[in-house]
Structure 1
Amino acid sequence: MQRTLNDMRPVYVIGAGWHRYQPLSEDSYATLGLAAVRGALADAGIEWPAVESAYFAKALLPMAPGRPMLRHLGATGIPVMHVENASASGSAAFRQACMEVASGMCEVALAVGVDKPAPVARGEAAMGIPQLAEDAIVPFTHFALLADQYAQRHGVDQQDFARVAVKNHGNGARNPNAHRQQPRTLEEVLGGRPVSGSLTTLQCCPVGEGAAAVIVASEAAIRRLGVDGGKPVRVTASAARSQRLYEDATRFDANLTEETTRLALQQAGLRPDQIDVLELHDAFTVEEVEYVEAMGLCGPGRAVPLLREGAWDIGGRCAVNPSGGLIAMGHPIGPTGIGQVGEIALQLRGEAGARQHPGARVGLAHMVGVGAVCYVHTLQRD
């Protein structure tokens, strides 16, 4: 029988830090990453020598960048693992850090994600097997087609997808770490430069640079290091899946999300209606609509009416992407999944400031990586 995180000793997020997600700059990746790690250490109230293991998430940086960066904090000899899993790189690194602490192999682990924009080839390019539509069905085309399909299936208007962007740009405007910090009207979103189908630039995530870091620890380490009792947030589930064959192959992202979320909620003993804060992969607006339904937060075709009613707003039934999501927070790739976890930790601690969701006790973080893989984590305040 497969073991889960809850079959091992408890794991807690005790600190989170960021370097703002932003357009490409002259800043070195080390400058970005060290700012995030130092922020996480300060948030946890611990020193660098307390960290026993590190997982470095990246998708665009050159080979093995973690060691040259982390040595500036002190060459303590800890193991450093580099993790690449497309958009889910940060989520995968966080899962590995949690499992190492939960298993008892270490007491305190770091998950840090850093990236800077650079050309990168997908794995299929090296397979030697021609793709019939490789020059036509790029990601934004795929999701524009899904938006058309969803609109026809449920009788919604294309502007309803733009409402997701309005909400998330508004949330990003409250987040000092967000790439996009300007609220947008529905007219501005719809009037943006066309990308594909009904999608405009303001309905697609910006891929820039940035960094995020979280520190996870055992109960014993929390006591030994004297971590403030208000900081720890327990990680109650970690689920990971990869794409398989589905009856409707066009919606593999939603099908994969449904499977992975169901596993995570089973591990944590939770129902979808118990989720207070949700950070999900919204690289394109239609994804948020598809995924909240796939996760079971509402029935098929109900995501848009509930969006119009404010159910997914901060202060609504469930705050969906209070950070701004990938649409406004940004998607530097390596840091993204880790930044989601950090946002949820702040929310559950009641420390999210202007974007605080009242009474948040349960959070879920979700990322899909091209290929496709999916990671879902749940966090709860004890």
Structure 2
Amino acid sequence: MAKTLAQLRPVYVVGVGWHRYQELSETPYVQLGLTAVRQALADAGAKWTDIETSYVGTALLGMASGRPMLSHLGSNQSSIVHIENASASSSAAFRHACIEVASGISDVGLVVGVDKPARVDNALKQTGIQHLAADEIVPFTHFALLTDAYMGKYNATIEDVARVAVKNHGNGAKNPNAHRQKVRSLEDILKGRAVSGFLTTLQCCPVGEGAAAVVIASEEGIKRLGLDASRAVRVSASAAISETVYPPEVGFDAELTRRVSEMAMAQAGIKASQLDLIELHDAFAVEELQYIEAMGICKPGEAVRWLKEGAFDIGGKVAVSPSGGLIAMGHPIGPTGVGQIGEITMQLRREAGDRQHRGARIGLAHMVGLGAVGYAHVLQRD
């Protein structure tokens, strides 16, 4: 019978680092990535020569982009694996690095996500099949339609949906690594530039550039390197699935979320009600409402009421996207998933400063990639 991560030896996040997510600049991606890696190594108290395996998550940079980046750190003949999986690229990289350490192949690993906007040929255009619907309906139109559908089904208003963005912009204003660091009122959100349907720019994630990195280790690696075990955060579950054929009227992103979150929580032996914080794929405001309900945090149609009551605020029942989420933290694509892991690690260490969620012990990180793949990781403070 196949094993889960929870059935292998424990894996811990021992170091975290970022280069701030930001608008496209003249900064080379190598500098973006190295800033995050060096910060993560310093945070862990480890050296580059301690790293036994490296995973690089990127969606936009092309072939073997980690090699010229990591070579600046000096000689290290350990393996480098590059992973592209759309928005979930570094979530996938993190999962496979954890599997390698949990299996005993390596004791200490590095995961870095880095990206810069660039012209990328759409793979769908290279299939030889013309007029695919997915190539005609761009993401913001897809989510504008989902916003309309959610509002109609649950008698919600656009103001209700926009409150997700108000909360997340407020969280991002407390995060020095966030792309957007400005508190926004409901009026600000609603009066932003229209994108599609009721969606305005401030309800949509900015796709800029940046980097995030984590160092992971086994108990043996922590002991051998003399790392601070009191700051280590355990990865208690890792789950990944891909799309299937869904019944009519079933939203594929929400269904992916439901299934992969259930898998991760079952592995960790927890219930949705035990989660203290969640970092999720809120590329568009309505996604937070859909995914919170899909995860079982509240019943379908109840997320708006919980949001209004402050249940998803920092200090509320369960802090949702305390980093600012994709809407305010940003979505450089490659770094996004591993950046979520870093935020949860900071929260569970009680090191998140002004955005610290009181008493946080268990967190879940969630990403989807083009609706085709879903990832969920549970982190716990032992």
TM-score, normalised to structure 1, is 0.98
Query: d(CA) in 1 for partners of 2:162 and 2:121?
Result: 30
Q: Give the equivalent residue in structure 1 for 2:220.
A: 220
Q: Give the equivalent residue in structure 2 for 1:38.
A: 38
User: Tell me, what secondary structure is at the counterpart of 2:229?
Assistant: coil
Shift of 1:133: 3.2
Shift of 1:122: 3.2
User: Tell me, what secondary structure is at the counterpart of 1:230?
Assistant: helix
One-letter identity of the residue aligned with 1:54: S
Q: Give the equivalent residue in structure 1 for 2:48.
A: 48
Shift of 1:123: 2.6
1:332 paired to 2:332: yes
- Provide the aligned C-alpha RMSD in A: 1.0
1:119 paired to 2:101: no
Q: What percentage of residue pairs aligned between the two structures are identical?
A: 64
**Aligned pairs for 1:203-282 within 5 A:** 203-248=203-248, 251-282=251-282
Q: 8 Å contact 2:88–2:369 — kept in the other structure?
A: yes
Query: d(CA) in 2 for partners of 1:250 and 1:86?
Result: 22
Q: 1:110 to 1:225 in 2, by over 3 A?
A: same
Shift of 1:371: 4.7
1:154-185 Cα offsets, whole Å, 9 max, x none, are 00111111100000000000000000000000
One-letter identity of the residue aligned with 2:36: A
The runs of 5 or more residues in structure 2 that have no matched partner are none
Q: Give the equivalent residue in structure 1 for 2:191.
A: 191
One-letter identity of the residue aligned with 2:273: D
1:232-268 Cα offsets, whole Å, 9 max, x none, are 0000000000110111355100011101001001100
Query: d(CA) in 2 for partners of 1:232 and 1:134?
Result: 42
Q: Give the equivalent residue in structure 2 for 1:62.
A: 62
Q: Give the equivalent residue in structure 1 for 2:85.
A: 85
Q: Give the equivalent residue in structure 2 for 1:145.
A: 145
Query: d(CA) in 2 for partners of 1:131 and 1:270?
Result: 44
Q: Give the equivalent residue in structure 2 for 1:380.
A: 380
1:50-81 Cα offsets, whole Å, 9 max, x none, are 10000001001121110111011112111101
Q: Give the equivalent residue in structure 2 for 1:350.
A: 350
What number of residue pairs does the alignment pair up?
Answer: 382
Q: 8 Å contact 2:124–2:135 — kept in the other structure?
A: no
User: Tell me, what secondary structure is at the counterpart of 2:260?
Assistant: helix
Query: d(CA) in 1 for partners of 2:171 and 2:248?
Result: 33
User: Tell me, what secondary structure is at the counterpart of 2:261?
Assistant: helix
TM-score, normalised to structure 2, is 0.98
1:208-238 Cα offsets, whole Å, 9 max, x none, are 0000000110001111111113210000000
Query: d(CA) in 1 for partners of 2:202 and 2:276?
Result: 26
Q: Give the equivalent residue in structure 1 for 2:101.
A: 101
One-letter identity of the residue aligned with 2:365: A
1:200 paired to 2:215: no
Shift of 1:131: 3.3
**Aligned pairs for 1:128-167 within 5 A:** 128-134=128-134, 136-167=136-167
